[in-house]
Chain A
Amino acid sequence: MPRLTIDEREVTVPAGTSVLEAAEQLGVVVPHFCYHRALGAVGACRLCAVEVLEGPQRGLKMACLVEAQDGMRISTTAPAAVAMRRAVVEYLMLNHPHDCPVCDEGGECQLQDMTVAAGHGVRRYRGKKRTYPNQDLGPFISQEMNRCIQCYRCVRTYRDYCGGEDFGVLGSRQRVSFGRFQPGRLESPYSGNLVDVCPTGVFTDRTARFRARIWDMQSAPSVCPHCSLGCATWPWARHRELLRVSGRENPRTNGFFLCDRGRFGGGYANRPDRPRVPRVDGLEVGWPEALEAVRERLTRLTRTHGPGAVALLTSGRASLEAAWALRLLGLSLQGAPAVYEPHPRRDRAAREVVAGLGDLGRDMQDVRQSDCVLIAGLDPEGEAPMLAVAARQAVRRGARAALWDPRPVRLPFPARRIGRPPGPLLEALARADGAPPAGLDAGQAESFAELRAALVGAARPVLVGGVDLLGPRGVRLLLAAARALSAPGRACGVALALPGPGSFGGALLAPEGPDFDQVLSGIEAGRVRALLCLEADPLREHPAPARVAEALSRLEQLIVLDHLPTATAARAQACLPTTVTAEMDGAFVNHAGRLLGFSRVYAPGLPIQVTGGGRHPPREFRPDTPGELPLPGWAVVAALAGEPMDLGALRLALAQADPRFGGLPGLDPAGPGVQLALAPSQALAPALPEEAEPAAPAGGLWLLAVEALFGSEPLSARAAALAGLAGEDRLGLHPADATRLGLAEGAPARLRAAPGEATLRVHLEPGLAPGFARVARRLGGPLEAFAPGGGPIPCLIERGGA
């Protein structure tokens, strides 16, 4: 641990720390541009000059490149260092357009800060400024190249860190520019990170362009609600409108960066058609009447027809506290069953994860530091986008990577692929003899053997998967493989993506109990007369929507608590509006069992964009805020359960009832979260019975209905910024199957399967396993009935259709 002196103050830092980082520990910010904690030091901007007074090499040095050493004496204020920093900023400002008044970066611009910090106050260059043409980079990012100071952070983020390939450095000398070879939408699903890393206004958030200065916006530490990873975010809101989202630092989850779904998918919060007022029997009512009416109906039905007359349903969208309040509500209704996921297969798979993960769980930091990563049955882009970026960091450090999946999964790094269903491969992986499963070709068998050997030899191996394709049986196989590959002192870790941000917490609270199919049977048998859905949309999330629709019509009471205008909410007798993540305090348990708190960013209300037609201030004066009524889901459910609407009380009660949640009452939303203490992973019952999967019909294929990056996930699918980006719904077929069926690229085909029928254009996907068809379910599209999470289902495909 070197001990050095910076500006006459001593500091001790770990070996390998740079002088710039050591100074930061003392609170001394050495001005810099190209250095970034996630991207490292490259020595390009030459701004962080300091003077080494004592050390191996004295004189003016770049603080980011000098390693702190014992006995060093550093001055950040030496005249030569100050003059150098002023000169560098003068150089950088030679061509800068000085267009701060119309630049969205204004107020959060590192160039503004560093110009002041470096003391460059008077312009001495009177020559012509260099100018660039800008490129249209698509709907997310605005480019204004004239503002560029060539710190190279954008390429280092887009290409090096996130693995994008369609963006880079162009030109040389003073005409270096950063962009695409041709204008066009950035292809990487992580393109929005350009906004966060650009120290000036070259890359700004196009979806929020010219809307607000940073000091006019509200923000608070939050957690991304668009998948189960729990990436740390800063949502930014103004005039009751969620304007944009930027990445927040959490070393255990996302590090710094976000995917484009998480960053640009927040618009669902601003929709004018969002439930904002409690409604009972078609009438708008106040909260006291609404709560009283719902409570009265639920208790009356329970009293009249017994404990099973009311069923409760939530989904992975609900916060942990709401899920806990739902359980309290069940208890207050004499033990009404509470189901935590509308899709029974997803439900059982999530419960398998929670029961078996134990101490094998690995978070994204572990994945980044792994030396061997197997991705089995996960398409990160649809199910957990940042998990792919985490795995990329492992690969960049030399980790081996493999992918076992029947789908042509797009990954931002090279991986050895076996294009087959992962189940039999995982089963073989768990066997001690190491023999590959039957049916592999020679290349696949070699790839299997190579990876198995690598996993056995690796120091920090991780098996990554997703519950949607794996299902409960696949999850159990993956966990068994991880246990089999673990040795004392060297565990093989597991990272499994779940359906939603609250899925892990919900499954923890409901290790047993019925799934939604059992509730549906109860409704069909007339036992269940009322269903309360908390932020759940069984009509779109259950694999048999027709059956759900039929069951819902038999109910005496359908109560929906939601902030989305869902199909289920449209049929409810009572609909109570809840808040979105950014409008409330709460917590999620992420895919790795980490408790992550989030804070309220802003109070709910109809955006002024909606009420005032974009004008400000509003011309209509009233004592209340339009649309202010939504309450946090946990508050509404607690009130229905007769509990106080008090988050602290709910959290304390949960922590007392279940010691695994001991970290909840003191949870700091700005911190890295608290890992739940899960019991060590133990072998569960030998194997689940085979899932009841009927054989594929003669001449038919196995259909995979999956989530796409955009358009599938229920929140972001309703965000205006992402509208139209999902593209056309297409039927992915292996070319061999397409030929057999007489179908060519773009040809119309009729798809028939249990959830429904649809006519789609064929898209040939050579990376797809033969015998499989793939569709990405987009909400509002022709495939709406094909809820993801069902695993492979039999289907028939024919030529023709409209």
Chain B
Amino acid sequence: MSHPQVLFARRRPGETVFLEGYLAGGGYRALGAAVGKQEPAALRALVLDSGLRGRGGAGFPTGQKWSFFPVDAPGPKYLVCNCDEMEPGTYKDRELLEADPHLLIEGMALAAYALGVQRGYVFVRYDYDEVFRILERACAEARAQGFLGERILGADFRFELHVHGSAGRYILGEETSLLNGLEGVRPNPRLRPPFPAQRGLFGRPTTVQNVETLCNLPGIVERGAAWFRGLALTPGEAGTKLFGLSGHLNRTACFELPMGIALREVVEVHGGGVRAGRRFKACLPGGASTPYLTAAHLDLSMDFGALERVGSRLGTAGVTVFDDRTCMLAATLNLISFFARESCGWCTPCRDGLPFVCYLLERIERGQAGPEDLEILKAQPAFIHQSFCALAQGAMGPLEGLLTHFEQELHDHIARGGCPFGGA
């Protein structure tokens, strides 16, 4: 079943589209239509109208975020692209940038124009050295061609873009940690308020956006808000979504699919079904921090609203599938160990609470736990949700999914004195 391709329209296997190909495919037309021809305020209204929501995980409406930005404040303001894609099971931004880097540059230039920003940064994950090189080259091309730099397209619009390679920790995906990392200081998250829109990078107004979010802007500018809303299959949602599939599937690749597509189609058609003829047991719908969905959710439409209604989140739409032989306790322990390892160490619930949860899960997995340990475990999410930033709260996603849908597995571990799936 083929769906309209917007972000992946120019994508060719094993190739990167640089300037020539991008221009040939209609690239930078949106920028040409906007810069000097449309009022920045009109562009912001367009984005609000389009219903675009942030693709980095939280799904905050982009137009609304921009409405808080002090567009007319004097002095430097910054646009930062968050390409610190380090959520387990998430690789869509890498796929996108390795295919079509100029899409991001055009998107950022449009955002900068709309927000009155003259300097932008792309904050690239440590391990994404290929993406880093591609972006450096694309930026150089764009600069040489007058899509970046002074008097872009002859208009009174200046935008300089820098690519910054991260020193590499998951916490840098948190936007205020990212800003600290960009400034060269220890990347602990910052207290909010003040929000980055008020005091962000170097103390100046800053907006931080995900790669995929920014890449949607050229399409919206070129074809309009109604077109963008019409891409979604469910009312109230908008656009396409990149789904990065992983786990126990026959085909684990990244697909651009309409917002609101049924989970069943994602798994069975695009993912080619669960591998080795096994049955679907559960999946993470949008990265390691989203609560599990189960086979009962297979007919759910994959969009922000529907997943929130069942107590999960669309997140980054990195779908990780688990087959029926998976010990969900062990899977959860694996995920929370990642979060515990990546804690920056600033606040107690994250730094010490997550290892405590791992300790409890390990005890249960090894059959050393009693029913009282399960009660202790169940009490932890309420405390860990009081963490300083969203990292530890995200870590509670799989634990809460485990407790909601697979509590019986925990009881089985305790009753059997070990893992019923033969693990540990």
A552 to chain B, nearest CB (A): 59
Is B379 part of the binding interface, using a Cβ–Cβ cutoff of 8 Å?
yes
A90-147 with Cβ < 8 A to chain B:
90-92, 94-95, 124-125, 127
- Complex contact A176–B388 (CB within 8 A): no
Q: A60-B386, A173-B341 are in contact. Are A91 and B353 (CB under 8 A)?
A: yes
Q: Does A65 contact B (CB under 8 A)?
A: yes
B355 to chain A, nearest CB (A): 5
The verdict on A555 contacting chain B, using a C-beta distance below 8 Å, is no
Separation in Å of the B338 CB from the closest CB of chain A? 11
Q: Which of A47, A60, A176 contacts B351 (CB 8 A)?
A: A176
A174 to B340 CA separation, bound complex (whole angstroms): 8
- Choose from B345, B356, B380, B386 the contact partner of A49 (Cβ within 8 Å): B386
Q: Which residues of A contact B359 (CB under 8 A)?
A: 125, 127
Given the interface pairs A43-B191, A60-B386, A94-B356, the reply to whether A171 lies near B349 with Cβ below 8 Å is no
Pick from A44, A65, A87, A124: contact of B353, CB under 8 Å: A87
Q: Is the pair A94, B386 in contact by a Cβ cutoff of 8 Å?
A: no
User: Which residues on the A side are within 8 Å of B223 (C-beta)?
Assistant: none
Interface membership of B343, Cβ < 8 A: yes
Please state if A174 and B191 are interface contacts (CB–CB under 8 Å).
no
CA–CA, A687 and B379, complex, Å? 77
Q: Could you tell me which residues of chain A, from 245 to 260, have a CB within 8 Å of some CB in chain B?
A: none
Say yes or no: B343 contacts A174, CB within 8 Å: yes
A203 to chain B, nearest CB (A): 18
In Å, the complex CA distance between A149 and B348 comes to 8
Q: Would A125 and B351 count as touching, CB distance under 8 A?
A: no
Contact B345–A46 (Cβ < 8 Å): no
* B352 within 8 Å of A (CB atoms): yes
Q: Does A83 contact B (CB under 8 A)?
A: yes
**Contact present for B348 and A47 (CB under 8 Å):** yes
Q: What size tier do the contact residues of chain B reach?
A: 20 to 34
Report whether B348 and A46 are in contact in the complex, using a CB–CB cutoff of 8 Å.
Answer: yes
| A150 close to B345 (CB less than 8 A) | yes
Contact yes or no, A174 B351, CB < 8 A: yes
State how many angstroms separate the Cβ of B253 from the closest Cβ of chain A: 32
Q: CB < 8 Å: which of B169, B352, B353 contacts A172?
A: B169
Closest to A151 in B: B348
Is B344 in contact with A172, judged by CB distance below 8 angstroms? yes
Are the CB atoms of B349 and A46 closer together than 8 Å? Answer: yes
Do the beta carbons of B344 and A173 come within 8 Å of each other? yes
Q: Are B347 and A87 in contact (CB under 8 A)?
A: no
In the complex the two chains form, is A44's CB within 8 Å of B340's CB? no
Q: Are B340 and A91 in contact (CB under 8 A)?
A: no
Write the B358-381 contact mask toward A (1 if CB under 8 angstroms, else 0): 010000000000000000100110
Q: Mark B305-336, 1 if CB is under 8 A from A, else 0.
A: 00000000000000000000000000000000
Q: Is the CB of B186 within 8 A of A169?
A: yes
Does B64 touch A at the CB level, under 8 Å?
A: no
Alpha-carbon distance A127/B341, docked complex (angstroms) = 17
Q: Determine if A88 is an interface residue (Cβ-Cβ < 8 Å).
A: yes
Q: Is A42 an interface residue (CB 8 A)?
A: yes
Closest Cβ of chain A to B373, distance in Å, is 8
Asked whether any CB of chain B lies closer than 8 Å to the CB of A45, the reply is yes
User: For residue B68, which residues in chain A have a CB less than 8 angstroms away from its CB?
Assistant: none
B351 partner residues in chain A, CB cutoff 8 A = 91, 150, 173-174, 176
With A43-B388, A87-B383 known as contacts, the answer to whether A92 contacts B352 (CB < 8 A) is yes
For residue A36, CB closer than 8 A to chain B, the reply is: no
With an 8 A cutoff between CB atoms, is A639 at the interface? no
- Docked pose: A124 CA to B372 CA in angstroms: 10
Question: What residues of chain B lie closer than 8 Å to A46, measured between beta carbons?
Answer: 347-349, 386-388
Complex interface: chain A residues within 8 A of B186 (CB): 169
Q: Closest B-chain residue to A95, C-beta based?
A: B352
Contact status A43-B355, CB under 8 Å: no
Tell me, rounded to whole Å, the shortest Cβ–Cβ distance linking A345 to chain B.
46
Interface of chain A, main secondary structure? loop
Residues from chain A with a CB closer than 8 A to the CB of B380 are 87
Contact of A88 among B169, B348, B379 (CB under 8 A): B348
Report the separation of the CA atoms of residues A90 and B186 in the bound assembly, to the nearest whole angstrom.
Answer: 27
Determine whether the beta carbon of B345 is less than 8 Å from that of A176.
Answer: yes
User: Does A175 lie at the interface of the complex (its beta carbon under 8 Å from any beta carbon of B)?
Assistant: yes
Cβ–Cβ contact B386 & A172, under 8 A: no
A758 within 8 Å of B (CB atoms): no
Chain B's nearest CB lies how many Å from the CB of A350?
44
Pairwise interchain contact A174-B353, C-beta atoms closer than 8 A: no
Q: Complex Cα distance A47/B191, Å?
A: 16
B60 within 8 A of A: no
Give the interface residue-count category, chain A.
20 to 34
Q: Mark A237-275, 1 if CB is under 8 A from B, else 0.
A: 000000000000000000000000000000000000000
- Residues 151-196 (chain B) with a chain A CB within 8 angstroms: 169, 171, 186, 191
Nearest A residue (CB) for B373: A124
For A60, list chain B residues within 8 Å (CB): 386
Does B227 sit within 8 A of A, measured CB to CB?
no
- Inter-subunit contact B355/A94 (CB<8 Å): yes
Known interface pairs A87-B379, A88-B383, A150-B345. Does A174 touch B352 (Cβ–Cβ under 8 Å)? yes
Task: Let me know if B342 is at the binding interface, CB within 8 A.
Answer: yes
With the chains together, A344 CA to B343 CA distance in Å?
62
Complex Cα–Cα for A583 and B186 (A)? 46
Q: How far is the CA of A173 from the CA of B353 in the complex (A)?
A: 11
Q: From residue B223, how far is it (CB to closest CB) to chain A in Å?
A: 40
B421 beta carbon closer than 8 Å to chain A:
no
Write out the residue numbers on chain A whose beta carbons fall within 8 Å of the beta carbon of B348: 44-47, 88, 91-92, 149-150
Contact A173 B343 (CB under 8 A): yes
Of all chain A residues, the one with the shortest Cβ separation from B352 is A91
A84 close to B (CB within 8 Å): yes
> Is B202 part of the contact surface with A, judged by Cβ < 8 Å?
no
Contact in complex: A91, B342 (CB < 8 Å): no
State A175–B342 Cα separation when bound (angstroms): 11
Instruction: Encode B381-392 as 1/0 by CB contact (under 8 A) with A.
Output: 011001110000
With a cutoff of 8 Å between Cβ atoms, the chain B residues found around residue A152 in the complex are: 346
Q: How far is the CA of A150 from the CA of B352 in the complex (A)?
A: 10
A84 to B345, CA, bound (A): 19
Q: A49-B386, A87-B379 are in contact. Are A44 and B352 (CB under 8 A)?
A: no
A127's closest neighbor in chain B, by CB?
B359
Q: Is the beta-carbon distance between B383 and A84 smaller than 8 angstroms?
A: yes
A92 and B350 CA atoms in complex are apart in Å by 11
The answer to whether B383 and A174 touch across the interface, beta carbons within 8 angstroms, is no
Interchain CA distance A65-B387 in the complex, whole Å = 13
> Residue-by-residue, is B181-221 near A (CB-CB < 8 Å gives 1, otherwise 0)?
00000100001000000000000000000000000000000
Against B, the Cβ 8 Å flags (1 = close, 0 = not) of A28-45 are: 000000000000001111
CA distance A92 to B346 in the complex (A): 12
Q: Is the CB of B355 within 8 A of A174?
A: yes
Q: Which residue of A lies closest to B169 (CB)?
A: A172
Q: In the complex, how many angstroms separate the beta carbon of A499 from the nearest chain B beta carbon?
A: 41
Q: Are the C-beta atoms of B386 and A44 separated by less than 8 Å?
A: no
- Smallest CB–CB gap between B14 and chain A, Å? 37
**Do B347 and A44 touch across chains, with their CB atoms under 8 A apart?**
yes
**Residue of A whose beta carbon sits closest to that of B346:** A44
Closest to B359 in A: A127
Bound-state CA distance A90–B387 (Å) is 15
What chain B residues lie within 8 Å of A91 (beta carbons)? 348-349, 351-353, 356, 383
Interchain residue pairs A-B with the least CB separation, the first 9: A176-B345, A91-B352, A87-B383, A173-B343, A172-B345, A46-B348, A127-B359, A91-B348, A91-B353
Known: A46-B347, A125-B356. 15 other contacts (CB 8 A): A43-B191, A45-B347, A46-B348, A83-B382, A87-B383, A88-B348, A88-B383, A91-B351, A92-B348, A94-B355, A149-B348, A150-B345, A150-B348, A172-B171, A176-B345
| 30 A-B pairs whose Cβ atoms sit less than 8 Å apart in the complex | A42-B191, A43-B191, A43-B388, A44-B347, A44-B348, A45-B348, A46-B348, A62-B386, A80-B382, A83-B379, A84-B382, A84-B383, A87-B353, A87-B379, A91-B356, A92-B348, A92-B352, A94-B355, A124-B376, A149-B348, A150-B348, A152-B346, A169-B186, A172-B345, A173-B342, A173-B344, A173-B345, A174-B343, A174-B351, A174-B355
B contact residues vs A (CB 8 Å cutoff): 169, 171, 186, 191, 340-349, 351-353, 355-356, 359, 376, 379-380, 382-383, 386-388
